[in-house]
Amino acid sequence: MSSGSSPWLASKTLAWRPELVLGFDQMDMQHQHLVACAGELQLLISANGPRQEVAKSIAALIAFSRQHFDWEERLMRANGYGGYTTHKAQHDHLLDQLLQVEHELSAGLVNSCQTLSLFVETWTVQHLLIADRLLADFLKDLA
Ligand SMILES: [Fe+2]
Ligand SMILES: [Fe+2]
């Protein structure tokens, strides 16, 4: 598959949608920002954007993801959250996926768009809507 404009990639482009709202404002705001960063990178890749811009965009996505995952992990530890180990392992896996995307992009490999789509899918469907929802419900109950 080419890294150029692709209907397959476009159909997977991440956009914020109401079902991603978990009802814990600080978390929702960060998720919304993460969605925006990932969506921007997907668009840049599908539009064959300048390499420097793509590199900047994936670096920003990695930096913000790290910051967001650290924030959630601090909250989990501070509140004795029972699912910490499993949740953190998912964060670590997601970061590995992003580092893989960065590696593929810097190497000019064409499958970077597939790895990014895999991250988007794993992060939203498997992580945000399941693990983060459990965490948000737990934190809301504490309030
Ligand atoms: Fe999380
Ligand atoms: Fe999260």
Residues 53-77 have pLDDT tens digits of 999 999 999 999 999 999 999 999 9
Structure confidence at residue 114 (pLDDT): 83
Q: If you measure from the C-alpha of residue 1 to the centroid of ligand 1, how many angstroms do you get, rounded to a whole number?
A: 31
> Structural domain tally of the chain?
1
> Which ligand minimizes its atom distance to the CA of 89?
1
Does residue 88 lie in a domain region? yes
pLDDT digits (tens, 9 = 90+) for 74-133: 999 999 999 999 999 999 999 999 999 999 998 887 677 788 888 888 888 889 999 999
Stretch 1-26: mean pLDDT: 69
Structure confidence at residue 66 (pLDDT): 98
How many whole angstroms separate alpha carbon 140 and alpha carbon 143? 5
pTM exceeding 0.85: yes
Give residues with Cβ within 8 angstroms of 112, minimum separation 6: 3, 45, 101, 104, 105
Q: If you measure from the C-alpha of residue 2 to the centroid of ligand 2, how many angstroms do you get, rounded to a whole number?
A: 31
Q: How confident is residue 3, by pLDDT bands cut at 50, 70 and 90?
A: very low
Does residue 16 lie in a domain region? no
Does residue 94 lie in a domain region? yes
Does residue 6 lie in a domain region? no
Specify the CATH number for the domain of residue 49: 1.20.120.50
Does residue 11 lie in a domain region? no
Predicted confidence (pLDDT) at residue 135 exceeds the cutoff of 80: yes
Does residue 84 lie in a domain region? yes
> Which ligand minimizes its atom distance to the CA of 135?
1
How many whole angstroms separate alpha carbon 17 and alpha carbon 106? 30
Does residue 4 lie in a domain region? no
